[in-house]
Amino acid sequence: SQKIEQNSEALNIQEGKTATLTCNYTNYSPAYLQWYRQDPGRGPVFLLLIRENEKEKRKERLKVTFDTTLKQSLFHITASQPADSATYLCALDTGRRALTFGSGTRLQVQP
């Protein structure tokens, strides 16, 4: 069956360190993979999109990698700040436009 796995355990890191979040999937052939940030009581906010033929994408302190062989995406936040504390969601786009979301990983950056 199709499955998207994100680490359900919260990730606690110290301010200034790099946070690395993982998204693994099985039985999908995504054309694109997107990462969103969600704060309590709010809707998801788009961060980055990476295509299946791209290995890496960067935006300011954010970096996403996409390995279609391993069926995995890694999301990195460098020089993390307490304001980065939120839940981060990965979402697969198989080209149908309907996104399939993972359950999200909660990141807590300690000052």
Partner 1 sequence: EAGVTQFPSHSVIEKGQTVTLRCDPISGHDNLYWYRRVMGKEIKFLLHFVKESKQDESGMPNNRFLAERTGGTYSTLKVQPAELEDSGVYFCASSQDLGQGHEKLFFGSGTQLSVL
| Residues at the interface with partner 1 (CB under 8 A) | 4, 31-32, 34, 36, 41-46, 49, 89, 93, 95-104
83: helix, coil or strand? helix
Nearer to partner 1, 15 or 39 (CB): 39
R_g over Cα of the chain: 13
CB of 6 to partner 1, least distance (A): 9
Question: What residues pair up with 107 in beta bridges, in sequence order?
Answer: 11, 86
The pair of structure tokens assigned to 84 is 């980065």
Nearer to partner 1, 13 or 22 (CB): 22
CB of 43 to partner 1, least distance (A): 3
Nearer to partner 1, 34 or 85 (CB): 34
Nearer to partner 1, 78 or 87 (CB): 87
The burial of 47, by beta-carbon neighbours within 10 Å (0-12 exposed, 13-18 middle, 19 or more buried), is given as middle
CB of 18 to partner 1, least distance (A): 24
Write the DSSP string, 37-65: EE-TTS--EEEEEEETT-SEEEETTEEEE
CB of 19 to partner 1, least distance (A): 21
